[in-house]
Amino acid sequence: MAFSDAVRAGFRKDLEGLKEAGIFKVERFIHSAQAADIEVEFPAGSPPRKAINMCANNYLGLSSHPEVVKAAHAGLDSRGYGMSSVRFICGTQDIHKELEGRMTAFLGTEDTILFPSCMDANAGVFEALLNESDVMISDRLVHASIIDGIRLCKAEHDTFKHANMEHLESKLELHKDKRLKVVITDGVFSMDGDTAPLGELVALCERRGAMVFVDDSHSTGFIGKTGRGTHEKYGVVGKIDIITTTFGKALGGASGGCVSGRREIVEMCRQRARPYLFSNTIAPVVVAGVLRVLDILAGSTERRDKLEKNAAYWRKGLTEAGFVLKEGDTPIVPVMLFNAKLSQDFSRDLFEHGIYAIGFFFPVVPKGAARIRTQISAGHETRHLDKALEAFIKVGKKHGILGKTKEEIVARYGA
Partner 1 sequence: MATTDEIRDIVLKYVKDEYLEDEDQEVGYETPLISGGIVDSFSMVSLKRFVENKYKVQIPEDKATPEAFDTVTRIAALVQAFLEKKA
Ligand X SMILES: Cc1ncc(COP(=O)(O)O)c(C=O)c1O
Shortest approach of partner 1 to residue 348 CB, angstroms?
Answer: 24
Residue 145 interaction partner, one of partner 1, ligand X, none, beta carbon < 5-8 Å per kind: ligand X
Binding pattern to partner 1, positions 356-395, x when CB under 8 A?
------xx--xxx---------------------------
Q: Name 215's Cβ contacts closer than 8 Å, sequence gap at least 6.
A: 118, 122, 142, 143, 145, 146, 184, 185, 186, 187, 243, 244, 245
Catalytic residue among 157, 175, 249, 326: 249
CA dist list (Å): 324 to 32, 37, 315, 344: 32, 26, 10, 17
Binding pattern to ligand X, positions 182-211, x when CB under 6 A?
----x---x---------------------
- What three-state secondary structure class fits 61? coil
Q: Is there a catalytic annotation at residue 260? A: no
Nearer to ligand X among residue 290 and residue 385 (C-beta): 290
| Rounded Cα distance, 172 and 181, in Å | 8
> What is the phi/psi pair of residue 38, to 5°?
-130, 170
- What three-state secondary structure class fits 398? helix
341 binds partner 1 (CB under 8 A): no
Q: Is there a catalytic annotation at residue 170? A: no
Q: Is there a catalytic annotation at residue 249? A: yes
Question: Do 242 and 262 contact (CB within 8 A), yes or no?
Answer: yes
Nearer to ligand X among residue 93 and residue 190 (C-beta): 190
Q: Residues in the chain, how many?
A: 415
Answer for which of 73, 140, 154, 263 binds partner 1 (CB under 8 A) is 140
119 binds ligand X (CB under 6 A): yes
Nearer to ligand X among residue 93 and residue 246 (C-beta): 246
| Rounded Cα distance, 197 and 163, in Å | 7
Question: Do 108 and 231 contact (CB within 8 A), yes or no?
Answer: yes
Catalytic residue among 63, 138, 190, 377: 190
377 binds ligand X (CB under 6 A): no
Residue 208 CB neighbour total at 10 angstroms: 16
Contact residues toward ligand X (CB under 6 A) are: 117-119, 122, 143, 145, 186, 190, 215, 217-218, 246, 248, 257
Contact residues toward partner 1 (CB under 8 A) are: 140, 147, 150, 157-159, 161-162, 362-363, 366-368
Q: Which residues are catalytic?
A: 190, 218, 249
